[in-house]
Every structure is written in C-alpha cells, then in structure tokens.
C-alpha cells in the first residue's frame, strides 16, 4: 500500500463523525453548511485504493466536525469500500487496507496508510458565490 498524504487516524475519524452525530439534530439551526471543496488530486489518492478491485467500486463519505480552539470545521471523512462477500448490497469500509480494519497490521495510532481521508474544505467559507447550485 502506498503512503497517503491526506489520511487521518481511525480514532480521529471516529471523533469527527461522533461529534457530527451528537450535533446533527440541531446542527443546521445554528451553523450553515452547503457543500465541500475537495482537491481533485486528493480524491484521486482515495480512488487509487480501489485499483484492482473487481465489480462496482465506491467510496463512502462520512460527515464529521473537527474542533480547533473555539472554531468548528465540518469535514467529509472519505474511505474506499469493497462489496461484502456475503451480501453484494453492502459495501464495507477499507481501513488500513482491510475490511473494516479487521486484521490490519498497521497500528491504529499511526495515521499513515489508514485509508481514511480528510482533505475537504467546507462551504461556507470555500464557496462559489456565483454558482447557481450554491444560490439554490
């Protein structure tokens, strides 16, 4: 597995997504979130994990929140997926190169090669103010 420059640890991904789930019911009543800006080169890095996979390939994007001092920033936590061996309607997360991270030899405290990506920027602030999609 190649080194990935934009991965985060499994623990960090779990913290982001748990924070989103904890606030989800009231989040949009006090915080605006319309979209995410994703660098294409970074998305390609995530897609490269699917090379050699047979059948349909997908990535999954979890919604998360990262806290920094007094500022919160929305995140998309992106992972490659693989079809479940027993149920082709379920796609399992590839973490540390293994289904759901089970049996991975990479220590979870080391974010290198986790296969969990965090490289997005929220809109607002990173919006296209002239886009008809953004304006609704």
pLDDT of residue 127: 84
Q: Find, among 91, 77, 73, 78, the residue nearest to 33 by Cα.
A: 73
pLDDT at 3 over 70: no
Which two structure tokens, joined as six digits, stand for 72? Answer: 């919160």
**pLDDT of amino acid 4:** 59
- Find the farthest-apart pair of alpha carbons in the chain and give their distance in angstroms, rounded: 48
pLDDT digit string (tens) for 22-74? 766 566 666 777 788 988 888 888 888 888 887 778 899 988 888 888 878 88
54 contacts: CB under 8 Å, gap ≥ 6:
none
Regarding pTM above 0.85, the answer is no
> How far apart (Å, rounded) are the C-alpha atoms in residues 121 and 11?
20
Could you write out the DSSP letters of every residue in 14-65? HHHHHHHHHHHHHHHHH----EEE--HHHHHHHHHTTTT--S---EEEEEEE
Question: What confidence category does residue 10 fall into, taking pLDDT thresholds of 50, 70 and 90?
Answer: confident
pLDDT, residue 1, reads: 45
């Amino acid at each position: 597995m190649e080194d990935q420059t934009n991965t985060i640890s499994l623990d960090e991904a779990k913290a982001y997504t748990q924070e989103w789930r904890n606030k989800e019911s009231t989040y949009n009543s006090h915080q605006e979130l319309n979209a995410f800006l994703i660098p294409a080169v970074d998305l390609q890095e995530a897609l490269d994990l699917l090379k050699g996979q047979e059948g349909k390939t997908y990535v999954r994007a979890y919604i998360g929140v990262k806290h920094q001092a007094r500022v919160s920033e929305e995140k998309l936590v992106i992972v490659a997926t693989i079809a479940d061996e027993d149920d082709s309607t379920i796609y399992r997360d590839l973490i540390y190169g293994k289904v759901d991270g089970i049996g991975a030899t990479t220590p979870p405290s080391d974010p290198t090669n986790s296969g969990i990506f965090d490289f997005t920027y929220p809109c607002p602030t990173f919006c296209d103010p002239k886009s008809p999609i953004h304006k609704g």
